[in-house]
């Protein structure tokens, strides 16, 4: 059911970067990106921007999944994001999963974690605020 929505939950940017759905975990999508040239910064390491993009995408995906569950529709617009880089992203797949800390009527606050081998040892975390605007027409 929710799995069928995967292509919608991904932005053109996320698809272009190579981010895909890894699995659903308790109703929340876990997003993943393989390590390749498009995410590489310093040789054999993730670019901070690519890690940030994965975090943001997982945050939007978690919010979209929850809005779908509630039968709500909205255009999601970024307000801000703060990323903490905890460890270097090495040359293997990364994963990220968001958690909705507060879902309001107009905005949502999310925390997101990214990891590689062990979900309990995140390589980066983010806090995001997202505006939920009504769809035109």
User: Which positions touch other proteins (CB under 8 A)?
Assistant: 8, 11-17, 37-43, 47-50, 52-53, 56-57, 75-85, 88
Smallest distance from other proteins to CB 44, Å: 9
Smallest distance from other proteins to CB 105, Å: 20
Nearer to other proteins (CB atom), residue 15 or residue 26: 15
Nearer to other proteins (CB atom), residue 30 or residue 39: 39
Nearer to other proteins (CB atom), residue 26 or residue 134: 134
Q: Quick check: 89 and 51 in contact, CB under 8 A?
A: yes
| Phi, psi angles (nearest 5°) of residue 54 | -65, -45
Smallest distance from other proteins to CB 76, Å: 7
Smallest distance from other proteins to CB 88, Å: 7
Nearer to other proteins (CB atom), residue 26 or residue 73: 73
Contacts by residues 14-22 (CB-CB < 8 Å, ≥ 24 positions apart): 14/53, 14/57, 17/50, 17/53, 17/54, 17/57, 19/53, 19/54, 19/57, 21/61, 22/95
């Amino acid at each position: 059911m929710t799995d069928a929505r995967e292509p919608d939950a991904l932005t053109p940017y996320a698809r272009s970067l190579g981010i895909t759905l890894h699995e659903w975990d308790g109703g929340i999508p876990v997003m993943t990106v393989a390590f390749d040239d498009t995410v590489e910064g310093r040789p054999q390491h993730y670019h901070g921007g690519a890690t940030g993009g994965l975090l943001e995408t997982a945050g939007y995906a978690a919010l979209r999944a929850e809005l779908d569950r509630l039968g709500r529709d909205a255009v999601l617009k970024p307000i801000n994001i703060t990323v903490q880089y905890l460890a270097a992203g090495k040359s293997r797949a990364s994963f990220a999963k968001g958690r909705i800390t507060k879902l309001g009527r107009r905005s949502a606050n999310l925390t997101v974690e990214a990891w590689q081998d062990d979900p309990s040892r995140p390589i980066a975390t983010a806090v995001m605020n997202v505006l939920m605007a009504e769809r035109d027409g």
